[in-house]
Structure 1
Amino acid sequence: MRDIHEVLDERAVTTLFQPLVEISTGRVLGYEALSRGPAGSAWERPDELFAAARAAGRGSELDWVCRARAYESALAAGFDPRLTLFVNMEPAAAGAPCPADLLPVIERAGRRLRVVTEVTERALAADPSGLLLAVAAARAAGWGVALDDVGADPMSLALMPFVHPDVVKLDMGLLRAPGDPHTARVVAAVAAYAEASGAIVLAEGIESEEHLAVARTMGATVGQGWHFGRPVPLSAGPVAGATLPFIPPPSTGDRTPYAIVGARRPVTRATKAQLMPMSRHLEALAGDGGEPSVLLACFQDARHFTPATARRFGRLAAGSPLVAALGAGLTDEPAPGVRGACLSAGDTLGGEWNVIVVGPHRAAALVARDLGDTGPENERRFDFALTHNRALVIEAARSLLGRLAPAHLPELQLN
């Protein structure tokens, strides 16, 4: 083929499939679809294929092509409806229209296949609202969600609760370094999430009995790797050994952090001067270096996001997976590395002062509602609530993520 445009125009992508196996029984639960470009070409490897497509401005289109080819291959092979098909997705493609020629197979897949959409934590850091939209679309179709490569980046652990995956895929590097302190931190955080949510833990890269034994110690109940089978074309009529369960989706709605927390925690009245130490304490908690943490804050108006605050948030952003500031008049990046969102007039968030911190092992939220005083700034009164209940904090934080603008980053290759 002459160039990447010809590859895309001709939909010249093939799919290989690798089994996902229940470790305790050896039963096949599903397959992961892995895309490849034309054999023998410069674009056979998926990283090269996606790099070329992104450079040509057609990355989202390629993502649709890869998914459509995976569904088409599974349907043609008579994929057992009890099996689960894992398919990688670029969140940016969720906001891009499906090419008309691919719609029929996409629609058939929605009716006939049981799919888990795989995303990585990098996608949430780059475009929180886009990823959450993609995840919501998958769940609306009755499909599951997997968070891939967990442990490859320490930042992923803080972002995991927001995706609320049905399956957590441990990065293969963890199996090769079981004694590393980083591995222990990842395994502990994933185990805590899985225990609280009911999610499945899947270990990638199992190539030997030794890897399999290590995977068991890490709490993995499902495995993937050459020990169970290499990626190959799908044979006709694969039959499920068992069905991989999905977990209940997280609560949704358009309530604000104050409405969420205030409904379940005691509400107290205080002045701005009295609340400032609590706010600074939570900021410090996000940046104490103990673990990467997400920090989300609502400032009501841009004038409250002072130069000193901007400097503090910029420093925190350098070591955090996500730091965000929301308020009327704020830009998309009010400080270096800080994600911003401008609140419109009449936005229900406009009357709230919120500081929310979420890390792998910590969670805290200060939520406050302005009572509308017009006196001295430090004497303005707020009704407020404070919580360290992890589920409640995450619910409050999730209510803000969809408002954030995408980061100015190149397209992410998730296939």
Structure 2
Amino acid sequence: MFDIHAVLDQRAVTPVFQPLVDLRSGRTIGYEALSRGPAGTPWEAPMALFAAARSVGREGELDWICRAGAYREALRAGFGPGLNLFVNMEPTAWRTACPPDLAPVVELARQRLRVVTEMTERVIADDPAALLAATTNCRASEWSVALDDVGADPMSLALMPFVHPDVVKLDMQLLRAPDDPFTARVVAAVAAYAETSGAVVLAEGVETAEQVEVARTMGATVGQGWHFGRPGPLPARLPAGGGLPWVPPAPGDTRTPFEIVASRRPVTRTTKAQLMPMSRHLEALAGTGPEPPVLLACFQEGRHFTAATAARFARIAAHSPLVAAVGAGLGDEPVPGVRGAHLDPADELRGEWDVIVVGPHRTAALVARDLGDTGPDRQRRFDFALTHDRELVVAAARALLARLAPVTVAPALVGAVSP
């Protein structure tokens, strides 16, 4: 009888595919790939399969096996350039090298398939620096990015700007509670992002004709669910598909948060004592509201991350999707729940005091540059700028996120197939 090692060693995983349908025309524009373990074994169900692989430290390898199997089947079936293949990403795959026997089909897929890599907010919070690098790699392959299960957890809305997805997938529970105030807030936030970016909105879990209409009122133009077909083999005759719009990637920027904001906003000179109330106000924004935002801060030196500040950040981290503090002498987790990073002496951020808040409905950034004064700490002078412009705030936030636990992402790592 199989054990989980035999399943993985023999690559005994079967891909199945569920159609994705244009809600206006009824045309199938692509398929989402899912995975199944050997029939009749304890690992047939995908959740059990991945749990077993995780328990023996081989989840990343399984992710590659699933992905390669989906690519191989799509290539065999003759996916055309207009047909989209959606695949899910497992967080552990970021750090797992592609097994040599799977590398050829992965490379062929890079050349021939139109893949949309699905990510969840869990990936973003676990390893934000790797996420930024990996999304860049996806787009370098001319593949798209989707944010999955939006609405399943409030954190997905706050983290959406950092994924900058081409496709936003509404969680299936939203269709089942269209009159819920939370549903309305999610739909409004997604509609705002889609309007400014050109992203496609996809509704998951569509099971009835009535839910098709509900999905359309939520702004969805693509649907997925049993109403259109259950997961199974690809059809003998594939549809032509339909292109998805390309959302221009977030521009790369090597500047610091202060340089990014100060290039487009007025700069004022003041003292640390005058900046403190403004900093506290922005921190307070991260601790309120039904959809808590991301809070990122640069403290220059670890000694400025005082016990009182650490306590505030820990409280916010208890319900925020991501809270981070960087500074010289700070570790990877300066207090429980708070991400951190040490700044090297040569890092330009050592001269900045930044507080950045990014949420689904509000954003703000206070960025300040130390003028190098000596004397009483509260009288030290800073040049500062303040902005609520979403584009500027997100750009500044990405500059800080890149400092968090940076990792090297393999160029071929452009998606995965998971439960």
Task: Give the TM-score of the pair, scaled to structure 1.
Answer: 0.97
What whole-Å deviation, never above 9, does each CA across 1:74-112 have from its counterpart, x for those lacking one? 000011121110011123313321100000000000000
- For the residues of structure 1 that align with 2:83 and 2:295, how far apart are their CA atoms? 39
Q: Secondary structure of the residue that 1:178 maps to in structure 2? A: coil
The answer to whether the 8 Å contact 1:78/1:236 transfers is no
- For the residues of structure 2 that align with 1:167 and 1:243, how far apart are their CA atoms? 12
| Map of 2:148 onto structure 1 | 148
After TM superposition, give the deviation of residue 132 of structure 1 in Å: 2.1
What whole-Å deviation, never above 9, does each CA across 1:334-378 have from its counterpart, x for those lacking one? 112111111111111111100000111000000011111111101
Whether 1:56 aligns to 2:56 is yes
Question: Which amino acid in the other structure matches residue 55 of structure 1?
Answer: S
1:197-346 matches, cutoff 5 A:
197-346=197-346
After TM superposition, give the deviation of residue 133 of structure 1 in Å: 2.2
- For the residues of structure 2 that align with 1:291 and 1:261, how far apart are their CA atoms? 25
Question: Which amino acid in the other structure matches residue 289 of structure 1?
Answer: G
What whole-Å deviation, never above 9, does each CA across 1:188-227 have from its counterpart, x for those lacking one? 1111111111100000000101111110110000001111
- For the residues of structure 2 that align with 1:359 and 1:35, how far apart are their CA atoms? 34
| Map of 1:177 onto structure 2 | 177
- For the residues of structure 2 that align with 1:43 and 1:255, how far apart are their CA atoms? 48
What whole-Å deviation, never above 9, does each CA across 1:157-205 have from its counterpart, x for those lacking one? 1011110000000000100111111111111111111111110000000
Whether 1:96 aligns to 2:92 is no
The answer to whether the 8 Å contact 1:19/1:228 transfers is yes
The answer to whether the 8 Å contact 1:67/1:89 transfers is no
| Map of 1:85 onto structure 2 | 85
CA 1:414–1:347 in structure 2 vs 1: closer, same or farther (change >3 Å)? farther
Aligned residues: 410
Q: Secondary structure of the residue that 2:308 maps to in structure 1? A: helix
1:365-380 matches, cutoff 5 A:
365-380=365-380
Q: Secondary structure of the residue that 1:125 maps to in structure 2? A: helix
The answer to whether the 8 Å contact 2:24/2:221 transfers is yes
The answer to whether the 8 Å contact 1:91/1:130 transfers is no
The answer to whether the 8 Å contact 1:92/1:130 transfers is no
| Map of 2:393 onto structure 1 | 393
Ranges in structure 2 where 5+ consecutive residues have no aligned partner: 407-415
Ranges in structure 1 where 5+ consecutive residues have no aligned partner: 407-411
| Map of 2:409 onto structure 1 | none
Q: Secondary structure of the residue that 1:254 maps to in structure 2? A: coil
- For the residues of structure 1 that align with 2:254 and 2:277, how far apart are their CA atoms? 29
Q: Secondary structure of the residue that 1:270 maps to in structure 2? A: strand
- For the residues of structure 1 that align with 2:32 and 2:213, how far apart are their CA atoms? 22
- For the residues of structure 2 that align with 1:240 and 1:259, how far apart are their CA atoms? 47
- For the residues of structure 2 that align with 1:235 and 1:219, how far apart are their CA atoms? 29
| Map of 1:381 onto structure 2 | 381
1:342-357 matches, cutoff 5 A:
342-357=342-357
| Map of 1:68 onto structure 2 | 68
- For the residues of structure 1 that align with 2:11 and 2:365, how far apart are their CA atoms? 48
Task: Give the TM-score of the pair, scaled to structure 2.
Answer: 0.96
The answer to whether the 8 Å contact 1:120/1:414 transfers is no
- For the residues of structure 2 that align with 1:180 and 1:361, how far apart are their CA atoms? 18
- For the residues of structure 1 that align with 2:97 and 2:58, how far apart are their CA atoms? 12
After TM superposition, give the deviation of residue 414 of structure 1 in Å: 4.5
- For the residues of structure 2 that align with 1:27 and 1:133, how far apart are their CA atoms? 34
After TM superposition, give the deviation of residue 267 of structure 1 in Å: 0.8
- For the residues of structure 1 that align with 2:62 and 2:376, how far apart are their CA atoms? 57
Q: Secondary structure of the residue that 1:369 maps to in structure 2? A: strand
After TM superposition, give the deviation of residue 331 of structure 1 in Å: 1.1
- For the residues of structure 2 that align with 1:414 and 1:289, how far apart are their CA atoms? 32
- Structure 1 stretches of 4+ moved >3 Å: 412-415
| Map of 1:159 onto structure 2 | 159
Q: Secondary structure of the residue that 1:265 maps to in structure 2? A: coil
The answer to whether the 8 Å contact 1:91/1:134 transfers is no
Q: Secondary structure of the residue that 2:356 maps to in structure 1? A: strand
- For the residues of structure 2 that align with 1:127 and 1:62, how far apart are their CA atoms? 20
After TM superposition, give the deviation of residue 119 of structure 1 in Å: 0.8
Q: Secondary structure of the residue that 1:100 maps to in structure 2? A: coil
Whether 1:45 aligns to 2:42 is no
- For the residues of structure 2 that align with 1:413 and 1:337, how far apart are their CA atoms? 29
Considering Cα pairs closer than 8 Å and 6+ residues apart, tell me whether 1 or 2 has the greater RCO: 2
Q: Secondary structure of the residue that 1:386 maps to in structure 2? A: strand
| Map of 1:409 onto structure 2 | none
CA 1:33–1:413 in structure 2 vs 1: closer, same or farther (change >3 Å)? closer
Q: Secondary structure of the residue that 1:152 maps to in structure 2? A: coil
The answer to whether the 8 Å contact 2:201/2:221 transfers is yes
After TM superposition, give the deviation of residue 125 of structure 1 in Å: 1.3
CA 1:413–1:244 in structure 2 vs 1: closer, same or farther (change >3 Å)? closer
| Map of 1:188 onto structure 2 | 188
After TM superposition, give the deviation of residue 253 of structure 1 in Å: 2.3
| Map of 1:119 onto structure 2 | 119
The answer to whether the 8 Å contact 1:78/1:237 transfers is no
What whole-Å deviation, never above 9, does each CA across 1:379-414 have from its counterpart, x for those lacking one? 1111110000011101110111122139xxxxx995
Percentage of matched positions with identical amino acids: 71
Q: Secondary structure of the residue that 1:334 maps to in structure 2? A: coil
